[in-house]
Structure 1
Amino acid sequence: MPTLLHIDSSAVADGSVSREVTAAFRAAWQAEHPEGTVVYRDLAVEQVPHLDVHGISASYVPAEGRSAEQTAAFALREQLMAELEQADAVVIGSPMYNFTIPSSLKAWLDQVILVGRTAGDAPSAKGTPVTVVAARGGSYAPGAPREPYEFVTTYLEKVLTGMLGLEVDFIVPEFTLAPIVPALSDFVPQAAESKAQALEQAAHRAKTAAV
């Protein structure tokens, strides 16, 4: 049976555009694969701990020689890596926080990336299609005044493709803060159009995701 790995990282529960778009992707994927399995990780609710010395050092020590702390830390890494490796498709919701990704998503990435297994010359999940919903409050599109400050898609493209060998596509709803921030009120129509396009793209990409 095909498996979808669905990851949300927005700290906002209600009104999150990234969550709405990933949910649309998931619904369309499940409609195409009613027999499929969805593994869901809400990184804002069930936070993945930051990679610590035990999780790092455990990868250099044989299992039988690990301390209790190393064993526990690597068990989590093993679980997260296995979820990625077993997925036939992945959808990730990543709003922009202070020009980059949420720290919760960075923590997940640090736990999942292991050179010699998921990263390196032969990444274990190489070729898996990943759709990233990179929502942002304003506009960081080419030509926008803040284009040079965009470190969500630029970072994730490098780490997901360059390290993990995944096949990445981005859906980028913009001006998500326009309906609630007075200074952005003139951009409410653009926000609605961008969100509608994102939802349409999500449904289309879910239907065409490789299995």
Structure 2
Amino acid sequence: MNLFRIDASILPGASASAEIADAVQAEWALAHPAAPVERRHLGTAPLPADAWALATTAAFTPAPEHTPAQREAGALATELAAELDRADAVLLAVPLYNYGVSQHFKTWADLVIHGAGAATPVLKDKPTVLVATKGGGYRPGEPREGWDHSTPYLRRVLVDIWQADLTVIERELTLAATTPGMEELRDEAARRHDEALRAARDAGRVLADAVARV
């Protein structure tokens, strides 16, 4: 059995999403110490921004006429889809950037959709944990309610298209500790941080147990 992990933070040394994902993975490792963990760091080793366009246009071009770049893009899409296909469990750490999904994650998802097929449930019945981190507060009644355009997209792809057995862990107010003007939110930010870590440990145990039962 193996765990596949994606990180999309552009700041790995100070990544709030990686911290929460690490807590999930730690619980997985306690239950499956010998199980391999395959990782992609999309934020620090991004996929080529033009790869999806190249792979897509190649689908409308006769194979003998494909350029080397189109062939490479198609092979990359196939490789990315295969990584998910062979995983027994999946862990995704995806920050909210500028109110939307990380561009690096979007490129990855587009390529997987191309490589697997637009309607292929590549995560069907696979236990999957999504860690979604946000610098501000987006809960009902808060000033940025409705501004999170990342998490709904992620749910749509992971659940509705790929049919993952999904658990979502959200941590908000990650910028409160360092951002002027957010000082009064720091106690609440600390509470939400602790809440997310507890949820991560619980999710890690559930992830490990789900795979053990398969």
TM-score computed with the length of structure 1 as normaliser: 0.90
CA distance in 1, matches of 2:64, 2:127: 35
Correspondences of 1:180-199 after superposition (within 5 Å)? 180-199=178-197
User: What residue is the counterpart of 1:54 in the other structure?
Assistant: 54
Aligned partner of 2:132 in structure 1 is 134
How far apart, in 2, do the equivalents of 1:166 and 1:60 lie? 30
Note closer, same or farther for the CA distance 1:35–1:77 as it changes in structure 2 (3 Å cut). Answer: same
Among candidates 198, 203, 206, match of residue 205 of structure 1: 203
CA distance 1:63–1:128, shift in 2 (3 Å): farther
Contact 1:134 1:153 in 2 (8 A): yes
**What is the percent sequence identity of the aligned residues?**
34
In 1, the alpha carbon distance for the partners of 2:140 and 2:26 equals 31
Change (3 A) 1:16 1:123: same
Shift of 1:64: 7.1
Contact 1:119/1:164 (<8 A) preserved: no
Q: Deviations over 1:91-146 (max 9, x none)?
A: 1111111111111111111111138x3541x5233122221111111110122121
Show structure 2 runs of 5+ residues with no match. Answer: none
- 1:77 matched residue in structure 2: 77
2:203, 2:138 → 1: CA distance? 23
Note the C-alpha offset of 1:59: 4.3
2:44 is the alignment partner of 1:42? no
Q: Which runs of 5+ in 1 are unaligned?
A: none
Which residue does 1:107 correspond to in 2? Answer: 107
- Per-residue CA deviations over 1:152-174 (Å, capped at 9, x if unaligned) read 21111112112222122211111
Name the counterpart of 1:173.
171
Does the aligned pair in 1 maintain the 2:52–2:111 contact within 8 Å? no
Residue type at the aligned position of 1:140: Y
| Displacement after TM superposition at 1:43 (Å) | 0.8
One-letter amino acid matched to 1:199: L
Cα distance between partner residues in 1 of 2:172 and 2:142: 12
Q: Partners in 1 of 2:144 and 2:44 — Cα distance?
A: 31
